[in-house]
Structure 1
Amino acid sequence: MSVAVMPFLIFGASQVGTPGPANMALMATGARFGFRRALPFVAGVALGKQLIIWPIGFGLMELAQAAPLLFEALKWICAGYIIWLAWRVSQMRLASGAGDDVAAPGFVAGLVVHPLNPKAWAMITAGFTSFTAPGTPTLEATAVIALCLFSLQLVLHPLWTLAGAALARSVAGTRIEPFLMGTLALLTVASVLFVLFGGERS
């Protein structure tokens, strides 16, 4: 096979399973609304990565090479949006009765998380550039990378959501609650800044 599947799965697990904007959003949603109410959001997040895997595989990176300033601007706009979401997370409260009229984010809200996630773009780009042999047919490379990442997400994204729900049961209504939500928000911001600045140095 022209895609190094096992090494890419190991790399993908290290990325999908570690803190980042998407996982922090999943954890915060599970904490605020519970696992079952968060499931449509989880499904949207898992499928949303496909919205960027396929365009990258079929030539979006060529556009980035042709218009690097536009690509850079889009990257910063996306990062700004994720940081704004982090601020919203910091304002959430988990206690029963605190904003029960607020609807849990749904499938469509989940779909846009990865397209606006710099970590996802960096991970997918690395998949095509580092784990795909030169000359691999575009459809083959894209399909394999898409399937690998989707399989990892089906396992790891629900675990992050469950972790958030478990934390909520422990800290909802306590003095620890605002610190938890603030920490989730800070981790989200840190993960975005690491991709923006750490990736540029590597």
Structure 2
Amino acid sequence: MSVAAASFLVFAASQVGTPGPANMALMATGARYGFRAALPFVAGVALGKQLVIWPVGFGLMELADRAPWVFDTLKWVSAAYICWLAWKVANLRLNTDAGAAKAPGFFAGLIVHPLNPKAWAMIVAGFTGFVAVGTPPLEATAVIAACLLACQIVLHPIWTFAGDRIAATVAGRPEEKYLMWTLAGLTVASVFYVLFGGGVTQ
């Protein structure tokens, strides 16, 4: 097959399932608003990666070769945005009260991956490492997109539900502050790992 789908699926699952900006956002949203209320946000996060996959699959990497400064700028702007989100998470306090403020919705989730440098790194790794030279762009992009979406449908809700359960345990306790700062720290660390270490984790 022109795309090593089985191998990429294993790679994708290992990356989507590990800590990163998107998963930290999912966990924090589940913790703050509850699993059920966070589901539209989860759907947006999952589908938002498609906004990166398809342009990359249909030639966006050629632009990167011609104008690398565009992608360097995007990388640092995205990193700044993720760090800002991490700051918000660090100062967030959990609330399991049903009367809490409205959870972020589908469109808020949709922009998470387009502004996530780790998502870009993982997608580029998929096309460069698991697609044979000469594979039709439609075939390659469809396989990469389907594998990632399948992993996200399974694993993103797990992270969100974990946040919901954590909130039920630590909300209002002294440990809450340290938990949120830990989540924020992991988010920032994951971004810097991509920027300076070449990681491709979700």
CA displacement 1:32-54 (0-9 Å, x = unmatched): 11000100000000000000000
Q: Give the partner amino acid of 2:170.
A: V
**Contact 2:33-2:103 within 8 A present in 1 as well:** yes
The alignment-based identity, stated in percent, is 70
Name the residue aligned to 1:47.
47
Name the residue aligned to 1:80.
80
Name the residue aligned to 1:60.
60
Q: Give the partner amino acid of 1:46.
A: A
Name the residue aligned to 2:38.
38
**Contact 2:34-2:96 within 8 A present in 1 as well:** no
SS of residue paired to 1:120: helix
CA displacement 1:113-142 (0-9 Å, x = unmatched): 000001100000000000000000000000
Name the residue aligned to 1:113.
112
**1:71 Cα deviation from its structure 2 partner:** 1.1
Name the residue aligned to 1:165.
164
Name the residue aligned to 2:185.
186
Name the residue aligned to 2:154.
155
**1:95 Cα deviation from its structure 2 partner:** 3.5
**Distance in 2 (alpha carbons) for counterparts of 1:162 and 1:89:** 17
**Distance in 2 (alpha carbons) for counterparts of 1:96 and 1:143:** 39
**1:12 Cα deviation from its structure 2 partner:** 0.4
Name the residue aligned to 2:23.
23
Q: Give the partner amino acid of 1:109.
A: A
SS of residue paired to 1:64: helix
Q: Give the partner amino acid of 2:137.
A: T
Q: Give the partner amino acid of 1:112.
A: I
**1:184 Cα deviation from its structure 2 partner:** 0.7
**1:163 Cα deviation from its structure 2 partner:** 0.5
**Contact 2:2-2:132 within 8 A present in 1 as well:** yes
**After TM superposition, which residue ranges in structure 1, 4 or more long, deviate above 6 angstroms?**
none
**1:103 Cα deviation from its structure 2 partner:** 1.9
Provide the alpha-carbon RMSD of the alignment: 1.3
Name the residue aligned to 2:11.
11
Name the residue aligned to 2:176.
177
**Distance in 2 (alpha carbons) for counterparts of 1:47 and 1:37:** 18
**Distance in 2 (alpha carbons) for counterparts of 1:5 and 1:124:** 14
SS of residue paired to 2:198: helix
**1:100 Cα deviation from its structure 2 partner:** 4.8
**Distance in 2 (alpha carbons) for counterparts of 1:123 and 1:69:** 20
Cα pair distance change 1:82/1:159, threshold 3 Å: same
Q: Give the partner amino acid of 2:72.
A: E
Name the residue aligned to 1:133.
132
How many correspondences in the alignment?
199
TM (norm. structure 2) is 0.96
